[in-house]
Amino acid sequence: MTRQRVIVLGAGVSGLTTATTMALAGWDVVIHAAEGPAQTTSALAAAIWHPFYQAPDFVYLERARQTYATMRRLSTDTSSGVLMRVLTEYFQHDAGTPWWAECASDLRRLPEADVPSRFACAYRMAVPVADTATYLGYLMHMFFELGGRFVQQRVERPVSLLDAADYVVNCCGYGSRQFGDRELSLSRAIVLRARRDTTVRGCFIDDSDPAAPTYIVERDNDIVLGGTADPEMTSTVIGQRQIEDIVRRCTQLCEGVAALHVIEARTGFRPMRGVVRVARDERYPHLLHNYGHGGGGFTLSWGCANDVLRLAGTTTAS
């Protein structure tokens, strides 16, 4: 019996996860991408499971729940690059337990004495964190092991590939703007990488300021400090003041940051959209879309991939 064929556009976390999910379900999958995983926006991400700036939403919650469960399973494989880390999140206003907290494990509210006075409350929980280089490589290796193929090629028109496959899945992130989606915009992120140090253990987040999300992410090989969310900013120039501001804000969350040695400052560009687009194309029913995740690419990756699989008429492989 001939397997159904799908072409996935894009090799970031959404493209790789979608391609791997469909390969696991028995599809014949080919990835077309202008760049390999190491050159994508995903490679620059802090890659912590967390719903940044997301209002309560049932669909988002279910996708995040599926991703959390899958990445937690992957954390038991030492080669995956995924680890479970303790996250402490601080809140300026006490709105009770975070709406998405049911996805996470070991959730507890910190005693008031352990919360800095400028915050109303804080919660601590276990969340998946990925070392992006290792994790993206792991997904690519899994994809190849399942018989997937990779074609390094920029695709100008997704519909031009419809005759070569049963479905084409667009996972091109901001690249989808050239395909006609004017709802997409860019948000520049500045992140710092620091050497691991015993002064910082776990992860810390305060995303109360939409323009300046503050986060510390302990990964296997480094510590990521962030960040910024600069709408429509495309400059890759990073000033010393911006670096100092990120370090200052992170130090307020965890005093141990002051002892870290910053080894790199990087810029990345999040593909922002009012609503994540995981849908069938309005004009071409065999063209599917999976993009516009903003800062939630890793948080939503497996859940969105499962939704793409259902749109193609197949149940999930798990």
Please give the Cα distance from 189 to 202 (Å, whole number): 21
Q: Are 101 and 125 in contact (CB under 8 A)?
A: yes
Of 130, 127, 19, nearest to 77 by C-alpha is 130
What tens digit of pLDDT does each residue of 308-318 get?
999 998 755 44
Is the pLDDT confidence value at 268 over 70?
A: yes
What tens digit of pLDDT does each residue of 88-126 get?
999 999 999 999 999 998 999 999 999 999 999 999 999
What tens digit of pLDDT does each residue of 168-213 get?
999 999 889 888 889 999 999 999 999 999 999 999 999 999 889 9
* pTM of the complete model: 0.94
Between 74 and 41, residue with greater pLDDT: 74
User: Residue range 295-307: average pLDDT?
Assistant: 96
Contact residues for 315 (Cβ-Cβ < 8 A; gap 6+): 25, 309
Of 181, 163, 140, nearest to 11 by C-alpha is 140
Q: Which two structure tokens, joined as six digits, stand for 171?
A: 């996972």
Element (H, E) at 270: strand 262-272
Please give the Cα distance from 100 to 127 (Å, whole number): 12
Q: Structural domains in the chain?
A: 1-83+129-184+274-317 (3.40.50.720)
pLDDT of residue 165: 97
Q: What is the mean pLDDT of the chain?
A: 94
Please give the Cα distance from 213 to 122 (Å, whole number): 16
Alpha-carbon separation of residue 14 from 73, 104, 142, 173, 298 (angstroms) = 18, 21, 15, 9, 8
Of 270, 213, 210, 197, nearest to 14 by C-alpha is 270
